[in-house]
């Protein structure tokens, strides 16, 4: 009678009342399906709300003339809403759909075997129960472990004064913008002699003065200045051939 009122009545009030009553009747079904995931990290109230939304969608789409019991029709719809919730809102790290579904089967198997054996099952037992390889079970468990990235505010130790993880992350490399320049200059180095390379390194890497370089190279400061100018000119011509010699 309620389905007939919902589908055939032209009175919005009658339709609304029938829909509300049908929802009340089948709320235990939605709650029971949500309870399947009560061992997850998500609040049970949130899962029940998601299941209830799936129930409403099932009520709106159900066709009594197809001869299918409503519970059989609604169950896949509600479970689909719950799975989408986990996939789209809980899993911040996306995984392939097949792996996601396999994890659900692994978790279900582990819960059942734990109840039956009164202990946590081994990977082999779960694999035998599902008829899959142990590697597939391990892959699913690894995906579950890594489905959320670590918070940068998470302490690095059990001590209350332990530094957060963010303090162990390196700072921005101030020389990163020089990478392209280094690669460009590197293309010109094969054109330099050993003495030219040495003087450039002492002057611009080790920050030595020309007089100190002259003393180390056993030559005059004027010679050092001349070699440095010649070396820089070679590099400029290699980088920009249009420059005047």
Burial class from Cβ neighbours inside 10 Å (0-12, 13-18, 19+) for residue 224 reads: buried
Burial class from Cβ neighbours inside 10 Å (0-12, 13-18, 19+) for residue 241 reads: exposed
End-to-end CA distance of the chain: 98
Q: Are 215 and 243 in contact (CB under 8 A)?
A: no
Residue 103 C-alpha from the chain's centroid: 17
**The tokens of 245 are what?**
């010699």
Residue 164, beta-bridge partner list: 155
| pTM, entire model | 0.40
Q: Which parts of the chain fold into alpha helices (H)?
A: 2-8, 12-35, 44-61, 70-85, 97-117, 123-130, 134-145, 179-186, 194-200, 210-217, 221-239
Residue 143, beta-bridge partner list: none
pLDDT at 128: 93
Q: What is the pLDDT along the chain (245 residues), one digit of tens a residue?
A: 887 777 777 888 888 888 898 899 999 999 999 988 877 767 888 889 999 999 999 988 888 888 888 888 889 989 888 888 876 665 555 667 777 778 888 888 988 888 888 888 888 999 999 999 988 888 888 777 666 555 566 665 656 666 666 666 666 666 666 666 676 667 767 778 888 889 888 988 888 999 999 999 899 999 999 999 988 888 887 777 665 45
Of 89, 79, 88, 21, which Cα lies nearest the Cα of 54? 79
**The tokens of 138 are what?**
């391990």
Domains and CATH numbers, the chain: 1-90 (1.20.120.1810), 93-148 (1.10.10.10), 176-239 (1.10.10.10)
Q: Are 30 and 48 in contact (CB under 8 A)?
A: yes
Q: How far is CA 24 from CA 30, 146, 216, in A?
A: 10, 38, 93
pLDDT at 244: 47
């Amino acid at each position: 009678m309620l389905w007939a009122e919902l589908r055939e009545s032209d009175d919005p009030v009658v339709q609304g009342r029938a829909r509300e009553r049908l929802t009340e009747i089948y709320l235990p079904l939605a709650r029971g399906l949500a309870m399947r995931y009560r061992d997850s990290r998500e609040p049970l109230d949130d899962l029940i709300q998601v299941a209830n939304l799936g129930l409403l969608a099932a009520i709106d789409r159900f066709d009594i003339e197809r001869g299918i019991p409503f519970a059989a029709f609604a169950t896949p719809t509600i479970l689909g809403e719950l799975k989408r919730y986990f996939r789209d809102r809980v899993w911040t790290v996306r995984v392939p759909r097949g792996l996601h579904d396999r994890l659900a089967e692994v978790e279900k198997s582990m819960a059942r075997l734990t109840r039956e054996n009164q202990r946590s099952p081994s990977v082999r037992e779960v694999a035998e129960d599902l008829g899959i390889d142990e590697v597939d079970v391990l892959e699913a468990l690894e995906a579950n472990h890594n489905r959320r990235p670590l918070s940068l505010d998470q302490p690095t130790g059990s001590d209350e004064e332990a530094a957060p993880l963010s303090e162990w992350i390196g700072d921005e490399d101030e020389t990163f913008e020089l990478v392209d320049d280094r690669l460009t200059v590197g293309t010109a180095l094969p054109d330099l002699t050993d003495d030219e390379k040495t003087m450039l390194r002492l002057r611009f890497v080790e920050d030595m003065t020309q007089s100190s370089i002259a003393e180390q190279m056993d030559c005059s400061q004027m010679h050092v200045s001349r070699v440095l100018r010649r070396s820089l000119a070679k590099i400029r011509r290699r980088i920009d051939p249009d420059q005047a010699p």
